[in-house]
Structure 1
Amino acid sequence: MWRRNSLSLASKLARLSSNPSPFILLRTSHHHAPLSRSNSTNPGSTSPADPVTWSQSRPDVRFIATRAACDAAVDLPPAAAASTSVGKGKEVAELVKHYSRCYWELSKARLSMLVVATSGTGYILGSGSSIDYLGLCCTCAGTMMVAAAANSLNQVFEVKNDAMMNRTRLRPLPSGRITRPHAVMWASSMGLAGTALLACETNMLAAGLAASNLVLYAFVYTPLKQIHPVNTWVGAIVGAIPPLLGWVAASGQISLNSMVLPAALYFWQLPHFMALAYLCRKDYADGGFKMFSLADPSGYRTAWVALRNCLYLLPLGYLAYDWGIASGWFCMESTLLALAISSTAGLFLVNRTTKNARRMFHASLLYLPVFMSGLLVHRHYDSELSLAVENSNQLAESTLSSSLDGELTESSPPRKNRRPAPSRAPVAYASVAPFPFLPAPYVSN
Structure 2
Amino acid sequence: MNVRVDAKSAQDAGPAVLSRVADLAALMKLRLNLLVLAAVATGYVLGATTGVSLPQLGWVLAGVLLAGGGSSALNMAMEAERDRLMDRTRHRPVAAGRISKDEAVLFGALLSFAGVGVVALGGGWLAATLCATTIALYVAVYTPLKTRSTLNTWVGAIPGALPPLIGWAAATGGLSMPALTLFGIIFFWQFPHFFAIASIYKDDYKRGGFKMLPVVDTHGLRTAHQTLICAMALIPVSLLPAVTRIAGPTYFTGAFALAMIYLVFSVRASITKATPAWRDLLRTSLIVLPGFFVLMMVDRLPL
TM range (shorter): over 0.9
2:275 equivalent to 1:354:
yes
* Contact 1:325-1:380 within 8 A present in 2 as well: no
Higher helix content, 1 or 2: 2
Equivalence for 1:156: 77
Of structures 1 and 2, the one with the larger relative CO (CA 8 A, separation 6+) is 2
Q: Does 1:336 align with 2:232?
A: no
- Aligned-partner SS, 1:304: helix
- C-alpha displacement of 1:264: 0.9
CA distance in 2, matches of 1:218, 1:118: 20
Asked if the contact 1:107/1:148 (under 8 Å) is kept, the reply is yes
* Superposed displacement of residue 227, structure 1: 0.5
Give me the whole-angstrom Cα distance separating, in 1, the residues matched to 2:150 and 2:274: 22
Task: Report the count of equivalent residues.
Answer: 302
Residues 293-302 or 281-290, more deviating: 293-302
d(CA) in 2 for partners of 1:217 and 1:300? 27
Q: CA deviation at 1:336?
A: 0.7
Alpha-carbon offset, residue 90 of structure 1: 2.5
| Residue of structure 2 equivalent to 1:323 | 244
Question: For residues 173-184 of structure 1, what are the structure 2 equivalents within 5 Å?
Answer: 173-184=94-105
1:104 — aligned with what? Answer: 25
CA contact (8 A) 2:44 2:171 kept: yes
CA deviation map 1:58-106 (0-9, x unaligned): xxxxxxxxxxxxx77xxxxxxxx4x556434424422321221111111
- The amino acid across from 2:170 in the alignment is A
The alpha-carbon deviation at position 380 of structure 1 amounts to 7.4
C-alpha distance 349-180 of structure 1, shift in aligned 2 (>3 A): closer
2:282 counterpart letter in structure 1: F
Percent of residue pairs identical: 34
TM-score for the superposition, normalised by structure 1: 0.66
* 2:218 alignment partner, one of 297, 301, 312: 297
Counterpart amino acid of residue 264 in structure 1? I
Contact 2:185/2:238 (<8 A) preserved: no
Q: Report 1:118-157 matches (<5 A).
A: 118-157=39-78
Q: Spell out, residue by residue over 1:400-437, the C-alpha distance to the aligned partner (whole angstroms, 9 max, x if none).
A: xxxxxxxxxxxxxxxxxxxxxxxxxxxxxxxxxxxxxx
User: Which ranges in structure 1 are unaligned for 5 or more consecutive residues?
Assistant: 1-70, 73-80, 382-445
Q: Is 1:240 paired with 2:167?
A: no
CA distance in 1, matches of 2:174, 2:51: 17
**Equivalent-residue separation in structure 1 for 2:47 and 2:140 (angstroms):** 29
Partner AA of 1:175 in structure 2: A
TM-score scaled to structure 2, two decimals?
A: 0.95
- Alignment partners' CA distance in 2, 1:129 and 1:253: 15
Q: Give the C-alpha shift of residue 185 in structure 1.
A: 1.4
Aligned-residue CA RMSD (Å): 1.6
Q: 1:188 aligns with which of 106, 109, 130?
A: 109
* Contact kept in structure 2, 1:300 and 1:352, CA below 8 Å: no
| One of 187, 199, 224 as aligned partner of 1:278 | 199
CA gap of 1:199–1:356, structure 2 versus 1, over 3 A, is same
Shift of residue 308, structure 1, vs aligned partner: 1.0
Contact persistence 1:122–1:261 (CA under 8 A): yes
Q: Secondary structure at the match of 1:227?
A: coil
Task: Name the SS for the 1:253 alignment partner.
Answer: coil
Shift of 1:298: 1.7
Distance 2:5 2:181 in 1: 60
Asked if the contact 1:326/1:380 (under 8 Å) is kept, the reply is no
Which one of the candidate residues 149, 166, 169 is aligned to 1:228? 149
> What is the alpha-carbon distance in structure 2 between the residues aligned to residue 174 and residue 349 of structure 1?
33
Alignment of 1:413-424 (within 5 A): none
Distance in structure 2 (CA, Å) of the matches to 1:267 and 1:301: 16
Matched AA of 1:244 = L
Pair 102,380 (structure 1): closer, same or farther in 2 beyond 3 Å: closer
Counterpart of 2:41, as a letter, is G
